[in-house]
Structure 1
Amino acid sequence: MTILFAAANPHAPAFLEAALIREFGSAMALASCTSQIRTARAVTEEIGEGRARQSGILSWSQIPLDHSERGVHQVISKQGSALDVPVSDMTVQGQTVPWISPKDWFQFILRQGVWHHLAGVRADEMHLAGPLWKTFWSNYQKLYPHFELFSKPGVDYSRTVACYLHGDEGRTLKKSGLMVTSIQSALGYGLSPKRQKLSADGLPTPLVNYAGHTFCSRLVSFVIPKSLYESNNAVFHDAMEVLAKELRELYDHGVVNPYTGERFWVAIIGLKGDLPYLAKAGGLNRTFNTATKRTAKDPAKRKKPSGICHLCLAGTDGFPAEEIATRSPAWIRTQNVKLPWDKTPVLLKHLPHDTNDLASFFQIDLWHTVHLGFGRSYIASTVQLALECVPCSNLEEKWKWLTCHYHTWCRREKKQRHVSKISPTLVSYNDRAGAMGAWHKGALTTNFFKWIPSLIDTLAPDAAGRLVLAKRGVEKLNQMFTMLYGSTSFLTREESFYVADCGLVFLDSYARLARSAYDAGMQLLYPLYPKLHYMHHLLLEIEWSAREHNMAFNVMTCGCQQDEDLVGRVSRLSRRVSIRTVMTRTLSRYLAAALIEWREAGLLR
């Protein structure tokens, strides 16, 4: 079970909780229902039924093992050992889908008196929540004046929360998919509650939503196993429409604080996720995987390219998506020219959006684009270039030398290694599909980005000077991310130009390396993936916003690395229940586990 009875019961003896921690160690939060029942029985024998009844342990010890899951959830419900948020049902395509409605979530937040948490301020600063939201919406209106909220009469911006929807597919039993959909505030505590930034007048400024446990900063609405929507996509889309309709109610009518009578509103400003999820949710017909792979020799038989970007016509005839080393690409004229769908997405039917740029509702995640995208190709290609300069006589020794160098760097910089060795497989050496990079952990990409300059400094220069160019690019990329992560929700003019300049230098380096490698017959290195275009898009928008408005929206607000953590945690919970009841049981376990985190964060009365 996700939560142990000692942690759930504030009256449990301290020695009992300590004993459980000793028994389960770091796996405490992942203990099964049966293990908790057996532990409860052992403790009851030791301390006696009287004390066990007083502390609530007796109820756990009396749960039958052959119905452990059902019994545990009954006891949790009776003892109040989960967040007091109801799980209700929606019916889609004849299927019953359990969910936690947004209205119930926000009513719970108001009952607990933690509405200020959505603005990223502590309880002793709750009076700053209103001014923070007014600042957020004032800045947002300058950048996106056609967002529907700004034409709505009588808006109280100090009590209107900006939120994102997020979705992604995790892994449940037998590696089957589990779609996890959640809601989150656009504001939070930055990267750390201890690193609060102040404006010129000494007041806190709007920060990105990264710090804190993801069970506290993200609100799960529903989980749907892939077996339900794989053969019938309407299950997923209908569930999203139910969610969107309720969010529209919160946008139009809000939710009332039961103690003060004040009304608060919720405005969704976008959907974020990885590119496959955006394509699925939006029904996009221009995405990263609609690029034309081959060109027919006969022009008459050539398939007309449909494009690779939902924001513009890049990848269509006359607008090459590979044009990344310029501030004035041809595709820039094609933004908002043609909608990227054949049928209006259900989310846009109900939720507020930018009426001048409907496709921008589907937000690009720079972290996915780089760290789980072309960043791996950049690293894999650079390591392969470095091989010729490694001071060893044979290839096997070169790989060992690279591994030793990386491990030494990790020890010196106090970084987790994440991999045991640098191998040909890891960097796609001689892989006919190209130097893709065979890892799927963003933290490893971050490590490699910081390690590459140290590696290149250790080696003798290569004859073509490619390693120097590769170092230049990765250093600029590191500087760009350092600025983005260290800034507030809105970049200043100077920060914006710095970010854009660093990012564009990286793209220029990538393009030069791709051309140089191609000319030298190394076509597998530095592949020009569509995701490079998405980064180009974001950088040019930042630069344009800074020029026009002296500020820009921090693209890390739409970053999904914390959401990946949430999806991973929820997916792990789902792997400990019966697949027949995976939706209901996963939500119940999630609410039980979230109780501990909300209590630890001081968010419960």
Structure 2
Amino acid sequence: MQEQNGVAATQLQLGAQPNLSEKNGTTTRLPYLKPANVLGKLLMDHPYMLLGGFRPGADSETLLTTFWENYKLEQPSHKVYASPSRRLKRTIPIYLHGDGGRTQKKQPLEVLSMEPVLGLNTSQGAEETCRCSVPVAFGSNNLENPIAQKLNSKNNSFLTKFLIFAFPSKKYKRQPNLLISLHEAASKNLAEVCKHGLMAKGERFYAAILGYKADFEYHAKFGSLERSYMHAGRTQQLGVCHECWAGTPDIPFEDPSTRALWTDTVCASFPWKETPPFKHIPFEAWESLPSRAPQFYRRDPFHVFRLGVARNYAASVILLLAHFELFDYGDASESKSVESRLDRAWNNLMLYCESERLHLGTLRSFSKDKLHYGSGFTFPYLGCKGADSVIILKWLLFYTGLVLMSVEESDPMKHTLEVIQQGLRGGLNFTQGIHKHALWLPRSCIKHLKGGLHDFCYAYGFLAHFALRHNLHLFGQVPKIHALARFKVEMFQAMANKSRRWMLNPASTDCSQNEDFIGRVAKISRRISYKNNRHQFERTLLQRYQMKAKMVIKQFKSKHQL
């Protein structure tokens, strides 16, 4: 491998251009930022970005020691615990993240980045209080207490996420395995950091990879998963979860209970045909059981709920309320068509947003098309942003509350409306609650969030059964319901262990800020021409990213006097 030295001395050097082989025998050479170079540069010049806002010393060592002591209850078989224990105080926990953006002419841009698990603002020690039934204050100057460790979801995403590679996949459509090959090259480099560490100012630091964050589509993109969400909707019963056998014959994925049959099959087998490109990273046993290696692919609560089942639930509730004639106001001249009722529902939502000073993103109206209703055998869902789905759930909670005030006790619709409210409240408690906490959840907060998930899953199942009995095509049973239930089961198992005081917050694998990072990288890429320039596009993109990141870091240091 040949190092590229064409980058300015104030920036990171471009990593080696590995020979990325294809199955058909062709090879290509593509520039990328070697993870070891990125981590080495950060440890030398900006170590606080990897160490929760602290510089190397007693504070950072206490912080890391506390993290690994608590993470051992999450994943005791992680390979990091096979290393000498003295390493843990200088071992940095890291997530990988992959996703696709849009470059010029909406062409796909493949992006891989990495991020520290510990929040950059941990060192500030500012207290924040959650809104659980038993409120808990997070943030502390006592670094031996897990309550001091913050989520890494604040500040500019260029301060918390670090680019490894980005390239337009359509430019290399004759080399379909290029994405996998690049992941493997980055993984081999990361494996060296995990095993042998990096020297920085007289100290040796190590990395430990806790998993790969992405949406289900990107996980499946590697092409080796035999069980994935992409199997849903087929006539055969195929596995929809890479972690368990849910969806296979006699193991229904629709069961969200803590005693579901699939709970006994978690990590019982590997979901891939070929060992994934991350096999070089010390994580779990990649080719022999027992192993929790399938859980390297981390579930993202943002795509599971806000961009997933929340949009299914909201669309179905709106259409059910329209079916109940709850958007009719008694005017003899008003139309009773679905489109007219949806239009009145939209106007009501606009009035709510104005009174609450809320602003919707790209959504501009309700219609059968925008709710994907009435086309073939598909179930409805809203095509909106994650933030929009939360606003719509809040509005539905408010509106159904108003309706319930005027419904008689004997009205059979009353119980259905109460269940709708139960689901709305539970979903909001979960999706907003995880972001109102720090990196570790105490038992009282685990119980509160588990209750929210239970209420949402129960309501979704009840309403799906109600719709089936009344011949309504609503509340489709999608694989993301199973993914949501997996969060609930994990919280139940954490509570069942009486000696366990803390649980890693599901928000640590949330990809909402990663979406911002992808958008920023894609925006840079759209200002670069890649026609007839062999690898010049990728090289220029990496250089411009480094320049932008350097400016953001400089502003952050100036603001915080670092």
Q: Which moved more, 1:87-96 or 1:374-383?
A: 87-96
* Aligned 8 A contact 1:190 1:488 in 2: no
Match of 2:389 in 1: 445
Partner of 2:544: 589
Q: Give yes or no for contact 1:383–1:427 (8 Å, CA) kept in 2.
A: no
Matches within 5 A, 1:350-499: 350-353=281-284, 356-387=291-322, 388-392=325-329, 393-394=334-335, 395=337, 397-418=340-361, 419-459=363-403, 461=407, 463-465=412-414, 466-499=416-449
| Contact 2:127–2:140 (Cα < 8 Å) also in 1 | no
* Residues 94-129 of structure 1 deviation map (CA, whole Å, 9 limit, x = unaligned): 2121111111111211221x3222232256x97522
Scaled by the length of structure 2, the TM-score of the pair is 0.86
Q: In structure 1, what residue type is equivalent to 2:391?
A: N
Q: Is the 8 A contact 2:314 2:392 kept in 1?
A: yes
Q: Distance in 2 between matches of 1:485 and 1:191?
A: 15
1:150 is displaced (CA, Å) by 0.5
SS in 1 for 2:284: coil
State the one-letter code of the partner of 1:441.
K
The answer for unaligned runs of 5 or more in structure 1 is 1-73, 295-302
- Does residue 513 of structure 2 align to residue 562 of structure 1? yes
Amino acid paired to 1:181: L
CA shift digits 1:505-527 (9 cap, x unpaired): 110100000000111000x2100
Q: How far off its partner does 1:438 sit?
A: 3.9
**Secondary structure of 1:268's partner?**
strand
TM-superposed deviation, 1:267 = 0.8
CA contact (8 A) 1:173 1:579 kept: no
Task: Give the C-alpha shift of residue 463 in structure 1.
Answer: 4.7
Within 5 Å, give how 1:63-74 maps onto structure 2. none
Q: Distance in 2 between matches of 1:401 and 1:126?
A: 61
| TM-aligned CA distance change 1:451 to 1:122, over 3 Å | farther
- CA gap of 1:116–1:192, structure 2 versus 1, over 3 A, is closer
Identify if the C-alpha distance between structure 1 residues 456 and 568 changes in structure 2 by more than 3 Å, giving closer, same or farther: same
Q: Which moved further from structure 2: 146-155 or 268-277? A: 146-155
- Encode CA deviations 1:78-106: one digit per residue, 9 max, x unaligned: 6x8xx621123423132121111111111
CA distance in 2, matches of 1:457, 1:192: 42
Name whichever of 475-484 and 271-280 sits farther off. 475-484
Partners of 2:506 and 2:299 lie apart in 1 by: 8
The structure 2 residue matched to 1:265, chosen from 206, 212, 215, is 206
| Cα distance in 1 between the residues matched to 2:225 and 2:475 | 27
Q: 1:201 to 1:182 in 2, by over 3 A?
A: closer
**Which moved further from structure 2: 426-435 or 444-453?**
426-435
Pick closer, same or farther for the CA change 1:169–1:334 going to 2, 3 Å: same
Return the alpha-carbon distance in structure 2 between the equivalents of residues 282 and 180 of structure 1.
Answer: 17
Distance 2:444 2:549 in 1: 40
Letter in 1 for 2:450: A
C-alpha separation in 2, matches of 1:190 and 1:252: 28
Q: Distance in 1 between matches of 2:272 and 2:121?
A: 35
Answer with 346-355 or 283-292: which moved more: 346-355
Answering whether residue 79 of structure 2 is matched by residue 148 of structure 1, we say yes
Counterparts of 1:204-215 in structure 2, within 5 Å, are 205-215=148-158
1:256 has 2:205 as partner: no
For the 8 Å contact 1:100–1:220, the answer to whether it is kept is: yes
1:390 partner letter: F
Secondary structure at 2:413's aligned position in 1?
A: coil
Distance 1:231 1:504 in 2: 47
Larger Rg: 1
2:266 aligned with 1:317: no
Tell me the equivalent position of 1:32: none
2:34–2:189: 8 Å Cα contact kept in structure 1?
Answer: yes
Q: Higher helix fraction: Structure 1 or Structure 2?
A: 1
Return the alpha-carbon distance in structure 2 between the equivalents of residues 142 and 190 of structure 1: 24
Q: What is the TM-score with the length of structure 1 in the denominator?
A: 0.80
Distance (Å, rounded) in 1 between the aligned partners of 2:377 and 2:106: 25
Residue matched to 1:99: 32
Q: For residue 222 of structure 1, give the secondary structure of its aligned residue in structure 2.
A: strand
Q: Deviations over 1:59-78 (max 9, x none)?
A: xxxxxxxxxxxxxxx9xx76
Deviation for aligned residue 1:323: 1.1
Contact conserved, 2:142 with 2:148, CA < 8 A, in 1? no
Measured on the aligned residues, the alpha-carbon RMSD in Å equals 2.5
Alpha carbons of structure 1 residues 231 and 514: separation in structure 2 relative to 1, 3 Å: farther
CA distance 1:550–1:195, change in 2 (3 Å): closer
SS in 1 for 2:205: strand
Q: Is there any run of 5+ residues in structure 2 with no aligned partner, and where?
A: 1-5, 22-26, 129-137
Paired position in structure 1 for 2:99 = 168
Q: Distance in 1 between matches of 2:368 and 2:303?
A: 24
1:397-440 deviation line (CA, Å, top 9, x unaligned): 43333222212222222221223323332222323343432424
SS in 2 for 1:602: helix
* Number of the residue aligned with 2:495: 546
Residue 149 of structure 1 deviates from its aligned partner by: 0.8
Aligned-pair identity in percent equals 25
* Equivalent residue, structure 2, for 1:136: 67
